Amino acid sequence: MEDEALTIVDRFRVIAAASPNRTAIVRGAESIGYGQLDTASSALAMRLMRNGVRLESLVGVVIDDRAKAVVAILGAMKSGAAYVPLDLTYPPERLSNIVCEAGLAAIVAPRMASERLRQLKLDPSIGIFYVDDAAQASEGDDVVHLPAINPDNLAYVIYTSGSTGGPKGVMVSHRSVMRLFHETADSFEFSPDDTWPLLHSVAFDFSVWEIWGALLYGGRLAIPDGPDVRDPAVLCEFIARAGVTVLNQTPSFFYRLCTYLERHPGDLRKLSTVKLTIFGGERLDYTKLARWYVLAGQSGPVVVNMYGITETTVHVTLHPVDCVSEPAVSESLIGDPIADLRVFILDEHLEPVPQGVVGEIFVSGPGLARGYQGRPDLTADVFMPCPYAERAGERMYQTGDLAKWMPDGTIGYVSRKSGYLKVRGFRVSLGEIEAALRTCDGVQDAYVSIRAADGVDILDAYVKPEADAQLSIGELREQFGRKLPNFCAPQNFYSIETIPLTRNGKIDLAAMKAHAVELSAHSAAMPSEAESALLSIWRSVLGSDAVSVDTDFFEAGGDSIRAVDLALAMTRAGWRVGVQDIFVRGSVRNIAAACNRSAERQVVPARGGSALASDMQTIMLNAYDANLARRNEVYHVVQSFDLCDLHADIDLDELARSFIETFSAYPVFSTVFERLDGNIVRRRADTPRLAVSVTPNGQSAPPWTPGTAGRASKVIDPFDADSPLMYVELTPLSARCTRVTLETHHAIDDGWGQQQLLTATLDRYGRPEQPVEASPDPFDAYVRLQREQSESACARRFWDGYEMHDHFLCVPGDHKVARIGETDESIRAHAVDAIYRYCQAIRVQSKAAFFCAVCRAIASIEGERDVTLGAVTNGRTAEIERALESVGLYWNILPFSMHVDAAADIESELTGVHRALNEAADFSLYPLSRILRARGNRDFRYSLNFTNFDAVRRSDRFVTSNWAGQDRFHYPINVAINVDRSDGVNEIRIVADDDVFPHAMRVRLIEQACSELDRIAAAAFRRTLRAQSAFFSD
């Protein structure tokens, strides 16, 4: 590159004028030519100038959409301004500090970010421009001439962490960027034939190298069209599809890529277009690099290791790796300085150190940044007069990095000096982390240190509690996550009584470590007798001998269903434990310490005779009766599926017998509902109320689907003692396959019970007939527990004080469902798996993620920030005998309210939902009718039913498929999510009054909910990569 004196804008214009039709940016099937990019960015620049942007103004660029961010960056610079990257995934407080300190004149964003920007409560004087609005780009009659930009004008201000506890903006000029490419041109010989991928966040200065390495040479900038490019398999596919020639990597991700290629060596051919691999952002471990050469051999791409920092314009040194001799070296070789820079390795007195002696790196030359935006004091601290100046006014920058001179005169990198470290290429400050920790509740003081483990920097946080404060690692992480990005979070937390000092007044880290107690540590002490007893139960229920007394329930793969199973098992052993105890306390040790064990089992026995219906049964039966004339099948539950025998022809008579015997064994199918003195009571009929029919061969009916004509004729009258409460129809499809259709009234079935029935029926098939023995109905215990809770003053106070939002409540008698429409869509299995892994990692129930996604979707549709819905809640508590084996309506519907913050951190948000669900779980049996009565009998507009259990247990003989179902509530809008991870069939369904919420609205809500689930899955993916210390920055 011969034109160092040009600005970035000038050089780009030269390229665009010479090759306007050449592709500049490609993303998937979309591409932007140099001429298009030039025109669009100029139009944006004129818009900015009409609205007051001038030379050296600062313009924020929201970086969510990287392709649009490039247009915005170029437009901002053409207006004479410098761009400031804004990552809206950062905590709002951090973003607000950046916006305030930078004094932004305007913000350019994609329109999809408009809502999140509004949440930041920006100064109204800051103009917001949407890069999508091409039509507005040419408005205005006046012609605006773009300014002449001087190379010493600012090009960008990128914010990094500061030692004072806040971010600081590094100001870099056009000249600094242009000389970087000019001085490295001979080393790399970049050309218009190169394709560079933009793999790093625009908030990270590595992106400056990637963007302009492509666009200043007439090359192509390839932008991934999805977050999954951080998956090595997807990255390989992307490289092959885009024809990438210059690949920039952080070392930690490259190690992960090598691991993947070792397992999938065939994918190495997908990297065949790569001619150059450049490392930066982190220390390169050369011994790990040896794995690459084993895979690629010596004929693979040229590998170059570069060192640099934001304050020195991306890169300072470069070192081409010798593939023969260097993969075995223990040093991290960073080579020689770029030609126009000088590197000094000095001691604490700013004197040069001898060869082989470790000192601190100082850099001088034209690559140095101007300084820190609005912080002359910090600028003076690290941008100092150079004692070895070759020209007047020469400065040098103190990097905080340690290195040494190698025997051949090149530089070997050692580590960060203190106070800073790099994670995913982002530089973070220990001072900023400590400042954030000190603002957490219960923390008086904090100190953070770095140590290396397997080549990765580990952060240890030492926190001194305030008097009488009990610090929780979960609460510390939650509060910390609201202040700083997740990549700043310490991996370990220790509690200390004091921060000890040496005689010289410095922190004595050795003494502090000796007296620190690790908050997350697993105790090595032998488990107590109680812990051992509980541990045996946990291992049995969770199916793993690896579970210890300190193993977290969620980390062990726990979910809400397993929590119920575990609570029941512990209750049978005499422990007074509920599901919420498992969620809140989380480990054997904590439960053993907090929960009591009695000599006798604390379960409510079942009994026979007549009894009141449950509150939810009463609500359903009344709603069913009110909707009966409309024939809309409210609370008329249907399940239909194909049942195939893998080994023999199906004996339909034997299958019918199995259904009759199995169903007859459950008291619920002998229930008769009667009205008595204004109440609905249950009594037990002499015979089960079942009807099992077999369609004769040759008369096969088509499979049932929702809304099929003719099925509604079999309407259940729950008050007719002579009509069945369960219909089973068997329709042969072939000798080995039968369509099974079950119809029942919702008042006797909650879905989980049906799973038990189908599993038991298939187990009974082909076995000798078994007599049906009468047994008491465990549901009586459920009703008595509900009555006890309805009389609890504590429960009443909780629900009377529970916030419910009027917008989401119906006026009594205002709504009667007439026409019901259904819309459903699959949820991707890989997204569900990622969400479950994420919830386990952050120790929340998976239900919280789905509740959060639905509430955020509803908020978006309704234009409200506070959402209330009726949430189906499990009532199979540990106090009920055989709760998991019983059949009946063991659930309740209760209010769930959530405040939706568009810019909220995902982990904090899910933790908040998890906590809210746990708080309500203590009062989950409280009658809904009483809650609504206290609100003037206003009912819910939305209901949500989340289930996460298999439709039927796997069998060696039978398989089920082609499931269809109907489950209609009386609320205007009903959202149901079913997760069946056993076969990857996951579904979201909306059943609603067509007049209130037509098909188009249902589709829109489903799309929004799926988008929110994808958002959580993406967070899970990011966390997985961070945990493996091999990932790209966001």
Residue 228 burial by Cβ neighbours in a 10 Å radius (0-12, 13-18, 19+)? middle
Residue 894, SS3 per DSSP: strand
C-beta neighbour count of 54 within 10 angstroms: 12
Question: Which residues have CB under 8 Å from 667's CB, separation 6+?
Answer: 684, 774, 775, 776, 777, 779
Residue 646, SS3 per DSSP: coil
pLDDT in the model for residue 1010: 93
Nearest in space to 223 (alpha carbons), one of 24, 78, 43: 24
* Token pair of 168 as six digits: 């600081």
Distance CA 1000, CA 1011 (A): 17
Q: Which amino acid is at 389?
A: A
Residue 171 burial by Cβ neighbours in a 10 Å radius (0-12, 13-18, 19+)? buried
Distance CA 941, CA 932 (A): 13
Decide yes or no: CATH 3.40.50.360 for domain 1-21+30-187.
no
DSSP of 180-234? HHHHHHHHH---TT-EEE--S-TTSTHHHHHHHHHHTTT-EEE--SSGGGGSHHH
The CATH fold assigned to 420-518 is GMP Synthetase; Chain A, domain 3 (3.30.300)
Question: Which residues have CB under 8 Å from 457's CB, separation 6+?
Answer: 416, 421, 422, 423, 450, 451
Paired residues of 306 in beta bridges: 318
Distance CA 569, CA 589 (A): 17
pLDDT in the model for residue 949: 67
pTM value is 0.49
Please count the residues of the chain.
1034
- CA atoms within 13 Å, Cβ hemisphere of 526: 2
- CA atoms within 13 Å, Cβ hemisphere of 564: 19
pLDDT in the model for residue 54: 96
Nearest in space to 189 (alpha carbons), one of 213, 157, 215: 213
- CA atoms within 13 Å, Cβ hemisphere of 323: 15
* Token pair of 219 as six digits: 């090359």
DSSP 164: T
pLDDT in the model for residue 601: 42
Decide yes or no: CATH 3.30.559.10 for domain 619-779.
yes
Residue 113, SS3 per DSSP: helix
pLDDT in the model for residue 195: 98
At which residue do the structure tokens 């100064």 appear? Answer: 123
Nearest in space to 1002 (alpha carbons), one of 873, 854, 880: 854
Q: Which amino acid is at 21?
A: N
* Token pair of 49 as six digits: 């100038």
The reply to whether 420-518 shares the fold of 1-21+30-187 is no
Distance CA 795, CA 542 (A): 31
10-residue mean pLDDT profile of the chain (1034 residues): values are 81 96 95 97 96 96 95 98 93 87 95 88 91 60 80 96 71 98 93 96 93 98 79 91 95 82 91 95 82 83 94 96 76 93 92 89 98 94 93 94 91 75 55 81 87 64 88 80 72 85 64 83 61 88 75 70 79 78 80 69 49 88 74 78 88 91 86 83 84 71 44 41 79 90 86 76 86 75 90 92 92 67 87 84 88 96 94 82 78 94 87 90 92 92 86 69 82 90 79 91 95 87 50 32
Q: What is the pLDDT of residues 289-323, one digit of tens each?
A: 888 888 888 778 999 999 999 999 999 999 999 88
Q: Of 3.40.50.1820, 3.30.70.100, 3.60.20.10, 3.30.559.30, which CATH number belongs to 803-1027?
A: 3.30.559.30
Residue 700 burial by Cβ neighbours in a 10 Å radius (0-12, 13-18, 19+)? middle
Residue 395, SS3 per DSSP: strand
DSSP 348: T
The CATH fold assigned to 529-594 is 1.10.1200
* CA dihedral of residues 452, 453, 456, 460 (deg, nearest 10): -60
Determine contact, residues 323/189, Cβ cutoff 8 Å. Answer: no
Nearest in space to 576 (alpha carbons), one of 541, 604, 544: 604
Q: How far is CA 212 from CA 13, 45, 419, 508, in A?
A: 13, 19, 31, 46
DSSP 777: B
Determine contact, residues 286/258, Cβ cutoff 8 Å. Answer: no
Distance CA 560, CA 966 (A): 24
DSSP of 358-394? -EEEEEESTTS--EETT-HHHHHHHEEE-TT-SSTT-
* 249-287 b/e (C-beta count within 10 Å ≥ 16 → b): bbbbbbbbbbebbeeeeebeebbeebebbbbbbbbbbbe
Determine contact, residues 23/31, Cβ cutoff 8 Å. Answer: yes
pLDDT in the model for residue 899: 94
Q: What is the pLDDT of residues 553-593, one digit of tens each?
A: 876 667 666 777 788 788 878 887 877 778 777 788 888 87
* Token pair of 582 as six digits: 């498992």
Paired residues of 683 in beta bridges: 672
Q: How far is CA 71 from CA 109, 130, 178, 262, 287, in A?
A: 10, 11, 19, 39, 40
Question: Which residues have CB under 8 Å from 470's CB, separation 6+?
Answer: 442
Q: Which amino acid is at 450?
A: I
Q: How far is CA 860 from CA 638, 864, 1007, in A?
A: 32, 7, 11
pLDDT in the model for residue 331: 81
Paired residues of 64 in beta bridges: none
Span between the terminal Cα atoms of the chain, in Å:
31
Nearest in space to 830 (alpha carbons), one of 618, 603, 1017: 1017
pLDDT in the model for residue 569: 83
Nearest in space to 606 (alpha carbons), one of 762, 442, 761, 776: 776
Domain boundaries, the chain: 1-21+30-187, 420-518, 529-594, 619-779, 803-1027
Distance CA 707, CA 692 (A): 22
Distance CA 745, CA 717 (A): 9
